[in-house]
Amino acid sequence: MTTHIALFRGINVGGNNKLPMKDLSEILAGLGYENIRTYIQSGNVAFETVGKLGANEAVKISKAIQNKMGFKPTVLLMGAEKLATAVSKNPYPVDIGKVVHFYFLDAPAATPNLEKLEALKIKSEQFTLTDTVFYLYAPDGIGQSKLAASAEKLIGVPATARNWNTVEKLTNMVGE
């Protein structure tokens, strides 16, 4: 069995796009996925398949949700090894897990606007951009960060963010 991670954007936010994790698990099971584990209502899922996922698997999941729930969320899929690599390359301390943020990129950023990213960060913030993750260290909190709000646009590729606490839980779920 191969373990995969699915990160959903824009579900269960502000009363919109409601998708109970039980329903999400049932939808994924209906697609043939096994050993489905979810974490909190923001759409963090680990599941297993026999073999690799198809190239359009994220679209397939999104359409299945649309058919059952009436909305089509963005889905970012990654293998367990990509998650492990992201964790191992994190350059920031994780003793306060809610201040380290991983923006998982849908594709490598071809032309990120590093100058504007740098200009938006406040003095206490730091960031690192790799081919697969934009790491943001925001010790004053994500709510105080102008960089956090503009990061995806300035990176130039779709991304979905999770804080260290969630990434750590996903890492633990991979081993379950």
| Among candidate residues 52, 82, 112, the one where a domain is terminated | 82
Closest CA to 99 of 137, 151, 150: 137
The residue segments making up the domain with residue 35 are: 2-82
Are both 130 and 155 inside the same structural domain? yes
Per-residue tokens: 92: 């920031």
The two three-digit tokens of residue 65, written as one number? 């949700």
| Tens digit of each residue's pLDDT, the chain (176 residues) | 899 999 998 787 777 788 989 999 999 999 999 999 999 888 899 999 988 888 799 999 999 999 999 999 999 999 999 999 999 999 999 988 899 999 999 999 999 999 999 999 999 999 999 999 999 999 999 988 999 999 999 999 999 999 999 999 999 999 76
Sheet with 159-163, edge to edge strand ranges: 126-129, 133-137, 100-105, 159-163
The b/e string for 53-62 (b: 16+ C-beta within 10 A; e otherwise) is: beeebbeebb
CATH number at residue 127: 3.30.70
